[in-house]
Amino acid sequence: MSMKKKEIVYAFIDANNLHLGTTKGLGWEVDYKKFMIWLEDKANVSDAYMFIGKIEEHEKLYSHLQECGFILQFKPVSKSQDGQIKGNVDTDLVFQAMLDFPKYDKAVIVSSDGDYYRLVRYLKETGKLLYVIGTNNRVSWLLRREAGSSLLLIDQIRSKIEKVT
């Protein structure tokens, strides 16, 4: 009798999309420790990459995320003329997912951004898509279409991962 090999699952998380989707979009905050535990327990995630803009005054947050078990991938940020901070991580997330493609059996994408539709399509076509976790209730129609039954709205797991204040 042969034992079935445990699947290797990686998560690729758009940090800003997760934060804004839950706090501004849904009105609640993610407890990152609980979220990591959920990823490990329910999705069997071994490596959870979090793509995030690098801002000096957020060092405490970065340390906390690393303590929770996330692998941080920093993106340099820029400021627009009106002072808005911009650190678009889409390309970085897709690049890492493709770079690591041979290393994992399944992938979890955490975002509601339609810019990831092509990655999600490819993961689905190759049998490597486990979940797309939509970070708010306004998940891009492109992402919804590509994810299909693999789409999980973050509100569905709110009770397991919400920060209690």
What DSSP letter does each residue of 126-159 carry, written as one string? Answer: TT-EEEEEESSS---HHHHHHHGGGEEEGGGGHH
Residue 80, domain CATH? 3.40.50.1010
The dihedral formed by the CA atoms of 63, 69, 71 and 77, expressed in degrees to the nearest 10: -40
Residue 45 sits in which domain range? Answer: 9-161
- Whether residue 3 lies inside any domain: the answer is no
- Whether residue 81 lies inside any domain: the answer is yes
- Whether residue 4 lies inside any domain: the answer is no
pLDDT on residue 3: 66
Answer yes or no: are the C-beta atoms of 28 and 22 closer than 8 Å: yes
Beta strands at 106-110 and 71-76: parallel, antiparallel or unpaired: unpaired
Beta strands at 9-14 and 106-110: parallel, antiparallel or unpaired: parallel
Eight-class DSSP state of 27:
S
- Whether residue 148 lies inside any domain: the answer is yes
- Whether residue 1 lies inside any domain: the answer is no
- Whether residue 2 lies inside any domain: the answer is no
pLDDT on residue 1: 56
- Whether residue 75 lies inside any domain: the answer is yes
User: Among all chains, which residue has been given the structure tokens 């979090």?
Assistant: 50
- Whether residue 112 lies inside any domain: the answer is yes
Beta strands at 45-54 and 9-14: parallel, antiparallel or unpaired: parallel
pLDDT tens string, the chain, 165 residues long: the values are 556 788 999 999 999 999 999 999 999 999 999 999 999 999 999 999 999 999 888 999 999 999 999 999 999 887 778 877 777 899 999 999 999 999 999 999 999 999 999 999 999 999 999 999 999 989 999 999 999 999 999 999 999 999 997
Total domains, the chain: 1
Handedness of CA 156, 73, 41, 115 (dihedral sign): positive
